[in-house]
Chains A and B, each alone.
Chain A
């Protein structure tokens, strides 16, 4: 057991810290979760816990249960336990700042995990959200370099909906300006709801008399509505559709050919990178010496922070195996209803 721990620890070290850093087990890494209401956070937790415990450190955590007040109290309690690093999944990016100040005052390192709060001392680790939009557009350009594009955007109140659209436009701008791509429909979707996306897509197809060659849907849930609307017109499978989140049903649609791509943010990757960074910080490493760290100032207030932005994985017909290998989806779930020989991963 001890031997195994040491080997894993060595591996974690090589991955994360500068060669000069000194190994010191017995640190305590804490996470203040905002909620466990969504299934994904359990996946993040498992990844972080695995890395931390493999390094011989201790993992502690609190769950704010979707309350900013509880999260503030949680963080005070963690500071009282003399932990070395606190990863914070902020419930409210602004309300959390006084708590972060307390962490800094206590000489503890803070990591903004997945949700940004703007404190220059903290390390911000997340997926590159503008990048998701870029990846969607790039995948679409590969199959439809020109034609009539429809944009099914997320909820107008969610800044991510706009970030994603910006990312798409960066990639598509040249072809739009050159007249190769026409924007025929562009709608926000209340609450990111699939049934709203379905109705919007139906109206888009009606108003253009089915004159749509490509649909950039900003997530997988809405993609399910878009595909249902296309299916009613017999167009599912001929008009490519994008999405993100790696929904199990969406990966199945990718295998079936009714969806082009699901951009997948692998929570296990995020947890692993963050835990390794946390261990490095606990061992006294300088944040800028950690692999992948760069400056980021794209937040609402423009505060410059050290950050690690992970690239998400586009799942297409060709690399479904990646999601199966990661244990995210079983082969049976991914390949349900897929004809033999159509998709490499399905055999």
Chain B
């Protein structure tokens, strides 16, 4: 996890690019993945532009539009949240195959609680309902994860077996809880966790405030880190590298903020929002409101051009960001996190050094369960329904995202941000292929191929570095 190249022996025969990367202390794997992401995005935008010209994307397609990128972020959240936990599980040399079925159980049980139990009892829309549902989902996920962990650590059953059993058993459990029926609709406030509707995003002002705050945080972290290094007499980055890191980091955050703010409410939603909030609809707009595509000269514009509201960051994306920051902190800055990486790197040594590896295993699986609970909330809120089918096969995508993101199945190696980038990459492939109207069979072949290719490239990279 910690970058060991700092102050290490510099290779004498470095070229300019290598020196540049080393000065910035960049994670070259991550850099490679970002390049891959950009290539995929541009490729899809060009391809979708060829198929349907004039869609307004950066390269003429419909992929690199604020709307698609906004939806892409939301679509990634369910897998991204779970994959942050899977990183720790895999780093600990374990596996959790039950997360998909666990998501079904938690989503269906939470749905039953809010729709069949609390709804009739407290009256539909009572504020206690969504709160109880959220607490219940996370608690239930943690409880299931805890049992998994105890069976693995103290029952000494391989995690592959325990969670394979869970994968099969939990899907049956999910079916029984609601006897197979789809539970819908979700509580109105609960639904906001899915990101649909005006109230489920924080709007342009708060999005800018948040973007600016994160920017300030980045600067503070750079300054603190430099001070600490000077204090401990470590080698520091060249001052230009510090500035470049800060500028690029801030530009990225503000850029994403600009993108989510560039996605306006869909015309009908804007119209309803205006009516609900007593915002006057500009003259000449309402008579065009019946259709969704309006032409202004040659250009396709929103029919409610005069009535535009920026969407901003959707709640599920904010939850995912919060989870990512928390999990990164846990992994890198807490004793628990260091123990996980130490144990994954060498279980015997960690145990001899006094780490309670069994209890550690239980804690990691409980954490995994809690994250599944959060994903279950987002998934069922987004679908506005809880069904047994929700979450099926998600375990494969969660594991694939972690592995594409550089988590080693041999244990001891993995990063949270890498895994999230892996999830984003996989969802980009799926969304892009769907945008091109490609049969899902080809998408599955592509995603599977990318998984194997990613690990192969990773192996080559590691061999060269060592």
A residues contacting B by CB (< 8 A) are 37-39, 156, 185-196, 198-200, 202-204, 206-211, 220-221, 224-225, 227-228, 231-235, 238, 247-250, 252-253, 336-337
Contact = CB atoms under 8 A, between A and B. Distances in A.
B434 A224 contact: no
Nearest to B443: A190
A207 to B, nearest CB: 5
Contacts of B196: 228, 231-232
Nearest to A213: B292
A234 B269 contact: yes
Interface in B383-399: 383-385, 387, 389-390, 392-393
For the complex of A and B, the 9 pairs showing the least CB-CB separation, nearest first, are A234-B268, A234-B269, A203-B434, A249-B184, A233-B266, A210-B292, A39-B180, A232-B196, A249-B182
Contacts of B441: 156, 188
B435 interface: yes
B112 to A, nearest CB: 12
B336 to A, nearest CB: 32
Nearest to A211: B293
Given A192-B389, A207-B435, A247-B182, 5 more contacts: A39-B180, A193-B389, A195-B390, A207-B48, A249-B183
Contacts of A228: 194, 196, 382-385
The winner among B75, B292, B437, B439 for most chain A CB atoms within 10 A is: B292
Given A194-B390, A225-B383, A232-B196, A209 B266 contact: no
Contacts of B75: 199, 202
B6 interface: no
A209 B384 contact: no
Interface of B: 48, 51-52, 55, 62, 65, 67-68, 71, 75, 78, 124, 172, 175, 179-185, 194-197, 265-272, 292-293, 300, 379, 382-385, 387, 389-390, 392-393, 430-431, 434-437, 439-441, 444
A210 B266 contact: yes
A206 B75 CA distance: 13
Nearest to A238: B268
A235 B75 CA distance: 19
Given A198-B383, A206-B67, A224-B384, A191 B392 contact: yes
B267 to A, nearest CB: 7
A190 B444 contact: yes
B440 A190 contact: yes
Contact of A224 (B65, B268, B385): B385
A207 B437 CA distance: 9
A249 B300 contact: no
Contact of B182 (A209, A220, A238): A220
Contacts of A190: 393, 440, 444
Nearest to B272: A234
11 contacts: A38-B180, A193-B390, A196-B440, A198-B382, A199-B75, A203-B431, A207-B48, A210-B293, A221-B389, A227-B384, A337-B185
Contacts of A187: 434, 437, 439-440
Given A191-B392, A249-B182, A203 B440 contact: no
Given A194-B383, A206-B65, A228-B382, A199 B431 contact: yes
Contacts of A191: 389, 392-393
A207 B224 CA distance: 46
Nearest to B200: A232
B392 A193 contact: yes
A232 B192 CA distance: 11
A206 B293 contact: no
B293 A209 contact: yes
Contacts of B52: 207-208
B181 A211 contact: no
Nearest to B380: A195
Contact of A235 (B55, B179, B268): B268
Nearest to A155: B440
Contacts of A224: 182, 184, 383-385, 387
Contact of A247 (B124, B172, B181, B292): B181
Nearest to A206: B68
Given A206-B67, A224-B384, A249-B182, A233 B269 contact: yes
Given A187-B437, A194-B390, A199 B430 contact: yes
B118 to A, nearest CB: 14
A206 B55 CA distance: 9
B382 to A, nearest CB: 7
B50 to A, nearest CB: 12
Contacts of B300: 209
Given A39-B180, A202-B75, A211-B293, A195 B384 contact: no
Contacts of A193: 389-390, 392
A175 to B, nearest CB: 21
Contacts of A233: 266, 268-269
- Interface centre among A188, A195, A200, by most B CB within 10 Å? A195
A200 B71 CA distance: 12
B383 A188 contact: no
A194 B182 CA distance: 10
A81 B342 CA distance: 65
Contacts of A235: 266, 268, 292
A139 B354 CA distance: 70
- Most chain B beta carbons < 10 A, residue from A38, A193, A220: A193
A195 B392 CA distance: 10
A204 B71 CA distance: 12
Nearest to B51: A207
A199 B427 CA distance: 10
Given A206-B67, A211-B293, A224-B387, A249 B434 contact: no
A253 B52 CA distance: 33
A220 B361 CA distance: 41
A330 to B, nearest CB: 12
Contacts of B434: 187, 199-200, 203-204
Nearest to A222: B389
Contacts of B184: 224, 249, 252-253
Contacts of B266: 210, 232-235
Contacts of B385: 194, 224, 228, 249
Nearest to A37: B175
B392 A39 contact: no
A238 B439 CA distance: 27
Contacts of A247: 181-182
Contacts of A189: 440
A203 B435 contact: yes
A191 B440 CA distance: 11
A198 B62 CA distance: 18
A202 B71 contact: yes
B267 A249 contact: no
Residue among A37, A200, A203, A227 with max Cβ neighbours from chain B (10 Å)? A203
A218 to B, nearest CB: 14
Contact of A39 (B181, B271, B430): B181
A186 B392 contact: no
Contacts of A227: 384
Contacts of B179: 39
A220 B393 CA distance: 20
Contacts of B180: 38-39
Contacts of B195: 232
